[in-house]
Structure 1
Amino acid sequence: MPSAQELEKQAKQLSTKSLLAFRFSVDHDQAGITFDKAAHLYKAQSKLSDAARCYDLSAREHQKAGNLFHAAKALDNAASAFRDLKDIPKAIKCYKNSSEIMLEDGKMDRAAEILTKGAKLIEKEMTKNSSKLSDEHKNQIKEMYVEALKMYANGDKYHMATNSFRAFNAFLLKNQMYDECIRNIKKQTDGYVALKQMHNVWKNNLSLVVVQLQHDSDSIAAEELHEETLAKFPDYSATKECQLATQFIQAFEQNDQELLDSTIQDRDLKYLEAQVSKICRKMTLDRRSTTTTSAPRQKVKISKVKQQTEELLGGADEDDNEEEEEEDLDSLYEDDEPDALDEDNLC
């Protein structure tokens, strides 16, 4: 059997013309296959840099031959090699390019799967041995999840998005991105409604309250979320999840640790998503401060007084009512055309 070095040499010969060797045409298809074989052998020998290089070359040749599926697979393998080498930027680039090529090949579900898998594996690799994710890496991982979920939403493939939604929720909660998590849970709920999975809608409604209370212990904000879901889903009021959500809000509103302790003991909480259930088990009132709850109440009162004053004055100018919008995940869900791939530098 040829060695990895010999296979790589053969692949390079297949991918180039040579008058001296009487090669007047190139065989991109066979070159891609041979580069891939060389990469596998390099990987078996733990020569990850060589493996990553050959996987990248394989992807280029397959793409030139029009074999988009095999090109995407080669880039997926290259991403794994770069991840093992701790070269996270190149790993992320390969995962994204692999997903774009798979999408170009008409395999939307596989394209989204690659992004979700890549985000999870990179997060796992970066947090291994207590490594801390940088803000840059967090944003890159977040964008991979968002792009995957956008693909599922655009294709009405909510039944395939469950894993991505839950993995994204877990990532956001682990990194204390509570506002983003609340927005993602709401988008996830839209998917459950489309699938007519109301039992999951009820769980998400409860999760919204839990995440909001974990965020800032603001019982008023949590109650607003609770009332919003009740208005949207009247049948929710008769569910166990609604009862638990009400108990959580009352416990924080009344500063009742005994009520909170009895609520978090409820066995139904274990059926929530793992990270949300974990938050429930560890929830306490000890971290509350007087400023945490008083600020929202003051804000509500001021807004009511302002509204009454404006009504007496005949309304306020439109310019006075304009508020600066906060940047959130919604902007990431907009349909943007992907950048064209650079075949000479896939990874």
Structure 2
Amino acid sequence: MAALDEARLKDAIKFMHEADKNTEKSWFKKPDWDIAAQYYEKAAQSFKAGKSYEQSVQAFIKASDAMINAHSLFMAGRALENGANVCLQNLGQPERAADMYKRASELFIQNMTPDRAAEMLEKGAKAMEPISVDSAIDFYVNACNIYENEERAKYATDTYKRTINLLVRNRRFEKATEILLRLGNVQSEAANKSAYFKTLLSIVIIQLAAGDEVEAGKKFQEFCGIDGFVRSEESAVAHAMLDAFEHGDQNYYNQAAARQHVGFLDNEIARLARNIVISNDLISEGGYVNPSGPGGNGQFSQPGPGGPGRPSGGPYADNRNKNNNGGNFNNSGYQQPPSQQYPGPAPPYQQYQGQAPPQPQFGQYQEKPMPPEPKGHNAAPRAHLQDERSESDWRALTGAPAGPTPAP
């Protein structure tokens, strides 16, 4: 095995010498950059096969420079990509690899191949994720910018989603909302309503996770103006989540987050939605508070049977403070207006104002006339006590066994 590697290294050195010869300039000869680039690339592959990775990277860089001089920008970018792969996979140098990916992206842009340029930036982002999240985010955002600038954003859906997942995973909610809005614009232009509504629901979830319930409500109201969103399942889920936040009901929120359409979202956003915990710091003052709850600390009550966010009965029925004498409000400042006099007979409830009502007179019996007895077909036989049958007679007629004999 060592002999094979040594042979490959010897071949690589020969290729390097041939490539250097073709880059020299003399009185009667110009540099042949095409031939030199081919030899450099062969040398790079031989160095890689011989496990001399640093020399392989250097050979790829020289091959890229030769291809640039030969006005072959696409091949120059591909050579840098190969060198970056060696840096990342064999040398374990992600920063150096990301820099080479970025240079390759610039070459692909000059060659008018934006898809490949964005792909290089995505590779650079993946290389930088373990060591620098900010750099990785910059790579991803620049890749999205390339697609948008070249009017190829409809092909960048996966790039947008990878960017959003990284931002959500690192709790960069503001930037994630910005990228989601950009993705939503792309989906709206493509008339992909199903994906568009999922993106809108994701925005509401991220705002709730960021603790900005007010902004989440504003976004939801704005999205309700979009054609078809109000009738969608995503709208129902977002409305239920906002109601749960308004009432401080964690159980109701968990039920909304467990719905099927939340599982249809991207993994990071679905996981984020199911890990949101409602706390008093995140709840606005518009929730329904029960001041008479345990300890009098203003615990939030369960939604009423009228539906989420529609209190009816129970704790929502009446949260007003009452004094010990009746149903008057404490410190309400309300005063009974003076009664007004109206012409004509007073209504029943005003006849005895200011005086005691008449007391009923007991001990005087007033006989009421009995109604006439019905005659004809309406007449019914009148029952008499002597006509009633005894229990023994009924048992004899029905054949039922006699009851137990009472003890003497």
For normalisation by structure 1, the TM-score amounts to: 0.75
Q: Is the 8 A contact 2:45 2:56 kept in 1?
A: yes
Indicate yes or no: 2:61 matched with 1:65.
no
Deviation at 1:140, TM superposition (A): 2.3
Which position in structure 1 is the counterpart of 2:190?
A: 195
Q: Give the one of 15, 20, 32 matched to 2:23.
A: 15
Which position in structure 2 is the counterpart of 1:76?
A: 81
Indicate yes or no: 2:170 matched with 1:183.
no
Q: Is the 8 A contact 1:158 1:192 kept in 2?
A: no
Q: Give the one of 22, 35, 38 matched to 1:33.
A: 38
Q: Give the one of 147, 167, 181 matched to 1:172.
A: 167
Please give the root-mean-square deviation of Cα atoms over the aligned residues, in Å.
Answer: 2.2
Q: Is the 8 A contact 2:18 2:39 kept in 1?
A: yes
Query: Which segments of 5 or more consecutive residues in structure 1 lack a partner in the other structure?
Result: 127-132, 298-347
Indicate yes or no: 2:161 matched with 1:155.
no
Instruction: Determine the C-alpha separation between the residues in 2 that align with 1:9 and 1:182.
Output: 54
Paired letter, 1:32 = A
Q: Give the one of 109, 114, 117 matched to 1:111.
A: 117
Which position in structure 2 is the counterpart of 1:341?
A: none
Paired letter, 1:107 = T
Indicate yes or no: 2:226 matched with 1:221.
no
Which position in structure 2 is the counterpart of 1:307?
A: none
Deviation at 1:185, TM superposition (A): 0.1
Paired letter, 1:223 = G
**Within-5 A mapping of 1:320-331:** none
Deviation at 1:18, TM superposition (A): 6.0
Paired letter, 2:122 = T
Q: Give the one of 131, 136, 145 matched to 1:141.
A: 136
Instruction: Determine the C-alpha separation between the residues in 1 that align with 2:264 and 2:170.
Output: 22
Paired letter, 1:155 = E
Deviation at 1:289, TM superposition (A): 4.5
Q: Give the one of 91, 94, 100 matched to 1:88.
A: 94
Paired letter, 1:27 = D
Paired letter, 1:87 = Q
Instruction: Determine the C-alpha separation between the residues in 2 that align with 1:95 and 1:37.
Output: 21
Indicate yes or no: 2:8 matched with 1:3.
no
Q: Is the 8 A contact 1:120 1:167 kept in 2?
A: no
SS in structure 2 opposite 1:236?
coil
Deviation at 1:53, TM superposition (A): 1.0
Which position in structure 2 is the counterpart of 1:204?
A: 199
Paired letter, 1:256 = D
Deviation at 1:50, TM superposition (A): 1.5
Query: Which segments of 5 or more consecutive residues in structure 2 lack a partner in the other structure?
Result: 1-7, 288-408
Instruction: Determine the C-alpha separation between the residues in 1 that align with 2:246 and 2:54.
Output: 57
Instruction: Determine the C-alpha separation between the residues in 1 that align with 2:135 and 2:285.
Output: 33
Which position in structure 2 is the counterpart of 1:243?
A: 236
Which position in structure 2 is the counterpart of 1:281?
A: 274
For normalisation by structure 2, the TM-score amounts to: 0.64
Q: Give the one of 100, 111, 120 matched to 2:126.
A: 120
